[in-house]
Amino acid sequence: MAFLNGEWHDRPARQLEIDRRIELIDQYKRLADVGDLTDYDVDQWELLDEELTKLQRVHACEYDMLLFMYEYFSEARNPGNQDNLIPAGTDYKDAADFHRELCRLLDEITKGNVEENVAWSVGRRHAKTAYLSNGYLCKNAAYRHKRYIVEISETTDVA
């Protein structure tokens, strides 16, 4: 979901908004090529460019859990957030194979391509909580993929 001009936009509506902004930016480029840009045009172009960047980021992250995690929960792409789950010095292109595999599975679940229950056991310190309890639940809520999310834990301290 993207909140734009007071409205929530699902994926198809968001794609239309992306396409519309690309076309408008192309028109501004043509005006610039012939020297017909006003100061107002430049301001609008910059605004459209900022909106396009935001919409493309939101669009790209919807079905790319790994990108979502790095975009919104890493020090590299979200600097200064004390609640970042991915520390400085860790970059998207260098993500652990385990995280890539886990995120691919989560993307398939989100798309509805996996209907059976999934169980996966890995040792401590693999960032399971960061990806599953924090990132995945947050992404499902943000994109409105799930209406109700229930997290069950072995201990009340974690749940």
If DSSP states are collapsed to H, E and C, what string results for 60-104?
Answer: HHCCCHHHHHHHHHECCCCCCCCCCCECCCCCHHHCCHHHHHHHH
Q: What is the pTM of this model?
A: 0.82
- Helix 97-111, helix 65-73: angle, nearest 10: 110
| 151 in a structural domain | no
Q: Is the pLDDT of residue 159 over 60?
A: no
Q: Are 69 and 131 in the same domain?
A: yes
The structural domain count of the chain equals 2
Residue where a domain stops, chosen among 61, 76, 106: 61
Range of the structural domain that residue 97 is part of = 65-142
What's the token pair of residue 113?
């391509």
pLDDT tens digits, 14-62 = 999 999 999 999 999 999 999 988 999 999 999 999 999 999 999 999 9
Q: Cα angle at 74 between 150 and 58, to 5 degrees?
A: 70
